[in-house]
């Protein structure tokens, strides 16, 4: 044994070619994965030092004893590391470079055996080696830009020298995970082999390098030297990429562009200087609020996944499901279930509705074939997972039913009572309702303990969130099975308690309330849209209402007004009601706040419609200019306050789940971290002062809660990790 640590062991062994080599194995104790925490990086330094002290070694094999190689740095440490400041982070990165450079400079060939995920710092470990062999189960990538930072341990330096600047920019700016075929094609790995042949292939590579068949020294020299691009080639590669990536990333996410600049600045430099440029840029990005919030999102996502995982462990298997109501929504749910491998019955009372649902599923599978994600044969096979039916004949074998009929309480109550008589004692019933109380829908059921809400967001195949709504009588078993099914469909389930609008819609409608106030006071709705899009929303409120549909918005608003009359009931008409009464439903009939025309791809494209302005005059005051800051405060304050109320009322358990639901459900700007992170960043006291001032003019929708005022006085925050 050369070295023994908590995460790393190094042993001496002989290859078939008779060479004595060191095998460095990552196997972090008491963890299912390998990650590079500060402690593990320190061990790696000690292990490399021990290897350097050994005599007569002819090679190094780096491998993992887990199902993954190394998933990256330990992100749970990031906030506390970022708190230490820019100079500390730069120095820390340079120390890691010293360790990684020591691997790269060993006086014999080195090879990495990539058995599973090798991401971030794990991928950067691979890049230090002369050779890389990947199992067919492997994947590699540098996803740091998704956290608002860039690869800081040599990724921006080594990857361009291994696979070329263009390819490296694509991998780093896109933050993609790359499969074996892609990695081999790019030259990121030297061979892809069957999983059980991985170690043998890696050892064979060392033998061939020692025999002089493979030139590891020239590879090494290339990684340490400047990039082989002349000035014109550099300009073509980097300037073109900057323009394209800036368009994709948008103004709120600086990391992808910064990564390109780091590769560009380091292109003409040798290793040490290029690494110093990278270390400095990483430290600078780590100090931004974007990095802080995106790391916070990752940690929140882990909280959500952990909670869902606990439910999943308690769940009975969900092997066969059914959806009631074909249509677009039912077809989307059937597609999602079938595509992830859970067979589903699709029932409706009309043959044409069934055909519409199947058409929707076929269309979505067809797009997967077009994108080469599926072969036509795979599509045909997955389509067999959807079985259309007009009767309840096969329902006794169904484990879980999703009711997705029209959003009308009486219709839903009737359908749920009917299906309950046609399923087994233990079948879980769920309703895909966006607003109707689960307690109300449960009243006519014989087994309300087997019933909960399962609220999908439209379009089902794109939106990651599923709200699982627990009613007063819902059992833990029903919640667990529904969570497990949502996870099996590739969705992120968040469990919430019953109330009008549940979590997401309850929070969204005060935002629309803020929009209505602005329009009534003379704001131009197109200006409001532009300001909120600049703020980071994927679409402004008027455009979003057109997408949601004015009929849906009016119905949901009535539910909210009934549930929370003190702050959500309104006297007189709103702009939304004016649109609805004039049959301007939005994209459903090509006219709402905007008019819609088909673009070249057949998708609806919004255009200004003067008729909308004429109609709004019924409720709008004289046109008035509002500053961007005013608009943001008036739109965001009610949304954030309602999120606070949902947390205080126990509708949602944790700030992490509340914020993730808004990001996954309504496109809250991820770089801002969620509504509660947003309040923390502003300062609870500042936010409360802003809300109180607005509530004097605009009423209870803007009034902070007593508990929030108390938090402001005590200097408290929603997140303890906030800098």
DSSP string, 543-591: HHHHHH-HHHHHHHHHHHHHHSHHHH--SS--HHHHHHHTT--BTTTTB
CA distance 106 to 57: 10
Compute the average pLDDT of residues 608-636.
Answer: 94
Q: How many other C-beta atoms are found inside a 10 Å radius of the C-beta of residue 710?
A: 13
Place of tokens 């430099």: 269
Q: What are 478-504's pLDDT values in tens digits?
A: 999 999 999 999 999 999 999 999 999
The yes-or-no verdict on residue 623 having pLDDT over 70 is yes
Total residue count of the chain as it appears in this document: 723
**Structure tokens belonging to residue 657:** 């789940």
CA distance 14 to 543: 67
Q: What are 420-476's pLDDT values in tens digits?
A: 999 999 999 999 999 899 999 999 999 999 999 999 998 899 999 999 999 999 999
Please provide the average confidence, as pLDDT, over all residues in the chain: 95
Range from 24-33, 569-578, 690-699 carrying the lowest mean pLDDT: 569-578
CA dihedral 706→712→713→715, nearest 10 degrees, is 140
Q: What are 112-165's pLDDT values in tens digits?
A: 999 999 999 999 999 999 999 999 999 999 999 999 999 999 999 999 999 999
Range from 186-190, 426-430, 549-553, 718-722 carrying the lowest mean pLDDT: 718-722
Residue 45 and residue 7 in contact, taking contact as beta carbons nearer than 8 Å: no
List residues with catalytic annotation.
Answer: 455
Angle at 501 between CA 468 and CA 644, to 5 degrees: 90
In 1-157, beta strands by DSSP E: 3-4, 8-14, 20-26, 60-64, 110-114, 117-119, 131-135, 139-141
In this predicted structure, what is the pLDDT of residue 723?
42
In this predicted structure, what is the pLDDT of residue 622?
87
Tell me, what DSSP letter sits at residue 703?
A: P
Cα 400 to chain centroid, rounded: 26
Stated as kind and residue range, the H or E segment containing 322 is: strand 321-324
The yes-or-no verdict on residue 341 having pLDDT over 90 is yes
The yes-or-no verdict on residue 523 having pLDDT over 80 is yes
Q: Give helix 628-648 / helix 675-682 axis angle, nearest 10°.
A: 120
Between the alpha carbon of residue 120 and those of residues 30, 45, 56, 673, the distances in Å are: 22, 18, 32, 22
In this predicted structure, what is the pLDDT of residue 229?
84
CA dihedral 517→521→527→529, nearest 10 degrees, is 10
pLDDT band at 558 (very low <50, low <70, confident <90, very high): very high
Angle at 571 between CA 566 and CA 576, to 5 degrees: 105
Stated as kind and residue range, the H or E segment containing 469 is: strand 465-470
The yes-or-no verdict on residue 93 having pLDDT over 70 is yes
Range from 198-212, 231-245, 625-639 carrying the lowest mean pLDDT: 231-245
Compute the average pLDDT of residues 622-632.
Answer: 95
The yes-or-no verdict on residue 418 having pLDDT over 50 is yes
In this predicted structure, what is the pLDDT of residue 264?
95
Residue 293 and residue 669 in contact, taking contact as beta carbons nearer than 8 Å: no
In this predicted structure, what is the pLDDT of residue 721?
64
In this predicted structure, what is the pLDDT of residue 201?
97
**Structure tokens belonging to residue 320:** 């066969």
The yes-or-no verdict on residue 600 having pLDDT over 90 is no
Residue 247 and residue 235 in contact, taking contact as beta carbons nearer than 8 Å: no
Task: Tell me the H-state helices in 187-320.
Answer: 198-210, 216-224, 231-249, 255-267, 271-286, 289-314
In this predicted structure, what is the pLDDT of residue 235?
82
In this predicted structure, what is the pLDDT of residue 286?
97
Stated as kind and residue range, the H or E segment containing 324 is: strand 321-324
In this predicted structure, what is the pLDDT of residue 458?
87
DSSP states along 345-396? EEE-S-HHHHHHHHHHHHHHHHHHHHTTSS-HHHHHHHHTTEEEESSSTTGG
The yes-or-no verdict on residue 102 having pLDDT over 90 is yes
In this predicted structure, what is the pLDDT of residue 604?
87
**Structure tokens belonging to residue 186:** 């790019």
**Contact residues for 596 (Cβ-Cβ < 8 A; gap 6+):** 546, 587, 590, 604, 605, 606, 607
Q: What are 151-187's pLDDT values in tens digits?
A: 999 999 999 999 999 999 999 999 999 999 999 999 9
CA distance 494 to 156: 37
Q: How many other C-beta atoms are found inside a 10 Å radius of the C-beta of residue 424?
A: 11
CA distance 658 to 35: 28
């Amino acid at each position: 044994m050369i070295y023994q640590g908590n995460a790393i062991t190094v042993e001496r062994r002989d290859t078939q070619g008779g060479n004595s080599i060191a095998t460095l194995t990552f196997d972090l104790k008491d963890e299912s994965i390998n990650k590079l925490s500060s402690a593990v990086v320190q061990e790696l330094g000690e292990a490399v030092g021990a290897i350097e002290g050994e005599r007569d070694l002819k090679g190094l094999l780096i491998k993992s004893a887990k199902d993954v190689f190394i998933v990256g740095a330990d992100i749970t440490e990031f906030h506390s590391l970022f708190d230490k400041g820019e100079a500390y982070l730069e120095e820390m990165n340079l120390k890691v470079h010293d360790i990684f450079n020591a691997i790269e400079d060993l006086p014999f060939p080195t090879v990495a055996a990539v058995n599973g995920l090798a991401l971030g710092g794990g991928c950067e470990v691979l890049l230090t080696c002369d050779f890389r062999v990947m199992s067919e189960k492997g994947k590699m990538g540098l996803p740091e830009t998704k956290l608002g930072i860039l690869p800081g341990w040599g990724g921006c330096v080594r990857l361009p020298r291994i696979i070329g600047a263009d390819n490296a920019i694509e991998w780093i700016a896109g933050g993609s995970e790359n499969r074996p075929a892609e990695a081999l094609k790019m030259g990121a790995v030297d061979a892809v082999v069957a999983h059980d042949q991985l170690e043998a292939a890696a050892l064979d590579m060392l033998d061939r390098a020692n025999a002089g068949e493979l030139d590891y020294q020239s590879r090494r020299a290339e990684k340490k030297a400047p990039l082989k691009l002349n000035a014109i080639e550099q300009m073509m590669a980097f300037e073109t990429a900057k323009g394209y990536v800036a368009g994709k990333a948008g103004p709120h996410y600086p990391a992808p562009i910064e990564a390109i600049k780091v590769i560009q600045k380091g292109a003409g430099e040798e290793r040490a200087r290029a690494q110093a440029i990278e270390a400095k840029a990483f430290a600078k990005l780590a100090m931004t609020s974007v990095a802080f919030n995106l790391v916070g999102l990752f940690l929140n996502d882990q909280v959500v996944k952990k909670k869902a995982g606990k439910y999943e462990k308690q769940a009975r298997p969900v092997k066969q499901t059914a959806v009631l109501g074909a249509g677009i929504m039912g077809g989307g749910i059937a597609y999602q279930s079938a595509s992830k491998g859970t067979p589903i019955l699709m029932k409706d009372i009309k043959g044409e509705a069934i055909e519409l649902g199947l058409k929707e599923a076929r269309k979505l599978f067809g797009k997967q074939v077009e994108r080469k994600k599926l072969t036509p044969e795979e599509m045909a096979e997955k389509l067999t997972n959807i079985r259309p039916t007009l009767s309840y004949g096969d329902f006794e074998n169904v484990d879980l039913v999703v009711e997705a009929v029209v959003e009308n309480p009486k219709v839903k109550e009737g359908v749920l009572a009917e299906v309950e008589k046609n399923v087994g004692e233990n079948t879980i019933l769920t309703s895909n309702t966006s607003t109707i109380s689960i307690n109300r829908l449960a009243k006519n059921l014989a087994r309300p303990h087997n019933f909960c809400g399962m609220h999908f967001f439209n379009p089902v195949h794109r939106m990651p969130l599923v709200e699982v709504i627990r009613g007063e009588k819902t059992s833990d078993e029903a919640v667990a099975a529904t969570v497990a099914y949502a996870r099996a469909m590739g969705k992120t389930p968040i469990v919430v308690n019953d109330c009008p609008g549940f979590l997401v819609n309850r929070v969204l409608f005060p935002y629309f309330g803020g929009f209505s106030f602005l329009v009534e006071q003379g704001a131009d709705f197109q200006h409001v849209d532009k300001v909120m899009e600049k703020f980071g929303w994927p679409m402004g409120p008027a455009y979003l209402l057109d997408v949601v549909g004015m009929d849906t918005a009016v119905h949901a608003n009535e539910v909210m007004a009934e549930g929370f009359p003190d702050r959500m009931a309104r006297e007189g008409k709103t702009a939304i009601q004016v649109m609805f009464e004039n049959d301007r439903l939005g994209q459903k009939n090509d006219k709402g706040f905007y008019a819609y025309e088909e673009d070249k791809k057949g998708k609806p494209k919004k255009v200004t419609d003067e008729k909308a302005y004429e109609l709004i005059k019924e409720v709008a005051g004289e046109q008035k200019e509002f500053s961007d800051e005013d608009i943001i405060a008036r739109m965001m304050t009610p949304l954030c306050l309602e999120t606070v109320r949902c947390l205080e009322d126990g509708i949602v358990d944790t700030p992490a789940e509340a914020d993730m639901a808004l990001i996954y459900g309504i496109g809250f700007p991820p770089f801002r971290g969620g509504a509660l992170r947003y309040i923390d960043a502003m300062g609870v006291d500042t936010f409360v002062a802003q809300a109180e001032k607005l509530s004097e003019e605009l009423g209870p929708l803007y009034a902070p809660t007593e508990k929030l005022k108390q938090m402001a006085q005590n200097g408290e925050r929603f997140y303890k990790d906030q800098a």
